[in-house]
Each structure stands twice: as structure tokens, then as C-alpha cells.
Structure 1
Amino acid sequence: MKDLYVRVYLTNMRKYNEGQLIGGWVDVSTDTDWSKELKNFCRIGKDDVFGEEYFISDYETNINDLNISEYTSISELENVAEFIEYVNLNDLQDIANELIEAIGGIDIYRLMRLLENEQYVYIADAGDDEKLGEYIIENDAKYSSLSDDIKHYLDKEAIGSDYCINNGGIYQNGNYIELLG
């Protein structure tokens, strides 16, 4: 699993309006000193006068569907940094990206709550009804007392389909995802 990351290009708005692109790349992390970074990239001239305004003119990330605009605030970036740290420390990168893609437009706080409270079902490599049915038959207590000979005759596709429909799950990128909260 690759660690999640976000980098933003902070741009001095006053200098930009004067026709100059003054700014620099900043890693969004819980260790980032935003006051220092703003002073570094919003300096105006040689006399250490600082511009009051900045904007984000570009960003790089490996988080699916994360939208950062020129208007994203520092406090929002700090929230993203906390999310990234939590996900990376707990090896939840793939699940986080799958949930973001599945839900779309989810805010970071809701996603953190889902991950922290394990309010989701994520079954890797169960990307269709039949594979989900196979997983359920092998892992659900209801089917544990059945012999393998009988399990062979079960309609795995129907079992997976019913489970998906009844629980409101979706198939995405070859996996099954269901929100519990």
C-alpha cells in the first residue's frame, strides 16, 4: 500500500496580480508549520514585507476524488493532514480510497468517523455477485454446518446478489463495499 499524500502550491496573490508567480510546493502533513510556509512563499520584495493573501494554484495527491481549490483554507488542509496521518498509520490507504470513490464528495470528518469506528464492510476481490456469494458461503456462520458437497450446489450468484441488494452495498474496482453508518 502506498502512503496517501497531498502537496499544494501556495501562491502569493498580490504578486500574482502584479504578473509574477511567487510561491512554492508544501507537503500537507501534521508537521507542516503553515505560518512559516506562508511567510516563505508570500514574501514581497527584499524587505520581508508579507502579503496578506495567498491561494492554491495547483495540487498533487494520490487520494481518489479529493478536490482542493484555490479557496481551500489552511484549517481544511490541516483536517486533510490529520486524515492522511490516521489512514497511513493504520494501513487503511486502499479502503479509504475505495470509500471516497464509492461515496463521492464525502467530507473528511465523515470518512474518518467511518474508518475509526469501522462502520463499513470491505471485501477485497469480491467484485461481482458470484464472488461475493462464494465469500459469504465460506465465511458466514449460517453456512458453516453445510458440507462442501452441499455448498457446491448453492447458487452463489443469487446469494451474493441478495446480500448486496439487502445491505445496500456496491461493487467497485473488483471489491465489495458497504457502509454501516
Structure 2
Amino acid sequence: MLNVYITDLSAYNSGYLVGEWVSLPINEDDLHDKVREILTNGASLCGEEEHEEYFITDWEFEDGIKLIDVSEYSNLDELNSKCDELSELDSDDLKKVSYLIENVGYVFEDALQKYDEVYIYENMTLIDVVEQYIDETVDMTNIPEIIANNIDFELISRDWEISGEFERIDNDIYHFVNC
């Protein structure tokens, strides 16, 4: 989910880069052990008894989807907890959470509550989405053929786009219902 490079701050300030990549989520005790190990190695390299402070010098999201704000002094326990929550979601749900954070402006907690109100139409145009919607919701047998054959899908798709409820990202159409 998220890889962070945890660095011993005191060793860094003394001119040594002592750290290690850690993949989150991880068991909380294992995370604390890993930080303790990094700080112990840094103190040993510097010839000191103990180091207490670390910082995150680099981070990367494994799937390329940014879901969490990370900075040098982010709380590792909070990052780990958020990654643990996200690990329960499938890739489509992660895309929905990312959409709400990056495009709608939701904070992490709110995006986790609302992601089920986002629909993703993969590799479709908005016209395709309109056609699919009409096929699924309108009983065309009760509409005169002259009307059914002259539905302007392009005009409807433009109206939907103007409404702001639909957004194209790459080759996908996102629809946030916002109930």
C-alpha cells in the first residue's frame, strides 16, 4: 500500500543516513520494533547511547494512487492505521476513495464513508454511459419508435457533463451521486 523510508534524525544531523524502507500496513509492534532498530543502528554508528527521533525521508504508494498525505514528520502510527483501513478495499474502491480526495476535496475519513456513492464507468465515453443508463432504466417498448430512434445521446451527455456530476479522468467516467 505505502512504503516509507524511516530515517534516524540524530544520525542524519551527524552526517549519516541510517534508515530503512518499511511497507505499511504492518503489525503495530513490528513497526515500533523496526523504528527502534533504526534508531539503535544510528546511535551505534554515531557512537552514542540512544537516539529518539526519526523522520520520513521518502515515500511511495505501491499502486500509484495517492490516498494519504505524507510528510517528513507524519505520525507513523496514524499512517499505519490508515493503510490498514485501506487494505480492506479492492482496487476499484481505492480508485473511488482517491477520486473523492483528489478531485472532490474530501478528507480521508469522509472519503472512506462516501466511496460507495461513486460509480466508475471504465473505458467508456459519457455518450456510452448515457446509452447504458437509458437501456437499463427506460422501457423502450412503451415509447413510439420515432422518438426512440431520435434520442440525442450526445446532447444528454453534454447536459450531464455540465451538471458536474460526471467527470472524465483518463479513459474512465466518474459519477459521484452524493446522496
Q: CA deviation at 1:26?
A: 0.5
Structure 2 residue aligned with 1:172:
169
Cα pair distance change 1:156/1:119, threshold 3 Å? same
- Give the number of the structure whose alpha-carbon radius of gyration is greater: 2
Show the 5 A alignment for 1:14-53. 14-32=10-28, 33-43=30-40, 44-45=43-44, 49-53=49-53
Matching residue of 1:110: 110
Within-5 A mapping of 1:3-18: 5-18=1-14
> Aligned-residue CA RMSD in angstroms?
2.9
User: Which runs of no fewer than 5 residues in structure 2 stay unpaired?
Assistant: none
Per-residue deviation, 1:148: 7.7
1:75 corresponds to which of 53, 74, 77: 77
Could you say which structure has the higher helix fraction? Answer: 2
Task: Count residues in correspondence.
Answer: 172
Deviates more, 1:10-19 or 1:68-77: 68-77
Distance 1:143 1:102, change over 3 A: farther
Superposed displacement of residue 159, structure 1: 1.4
Q: TM-score, normalised by structure 1?
A: 0.77
Going from structure 1 to structure 2, the CA distance change for 1:168 and 1:74 (only over 3 Å counts) comes to: same
Partner Cα distance (1:91, 1:64) in 2: 11
Q: Structure 2 counterpart of 1:75, which letter?
A: D
Task: Check whether the contact 1:8–1:59 (CA below 8 A) recurs between aligned residues.
Answer: yes
TM-score by length of 2: 0.78
Percent identical across equivalent pairs? 22
CA distance in 2, matches of 1:165, 1:146: 27
Q: What are the superposed Cα offsets for residues 5-63 of structure 1, whole Å, 9 maximum, x if unpaired?
A: 11000000000000000110101115353211210111111799442110000112124
CA offset digits 1:120-140 (Å, max 9, x no partner): 232223333x22322222222
Letter in 1 for 2:152: D
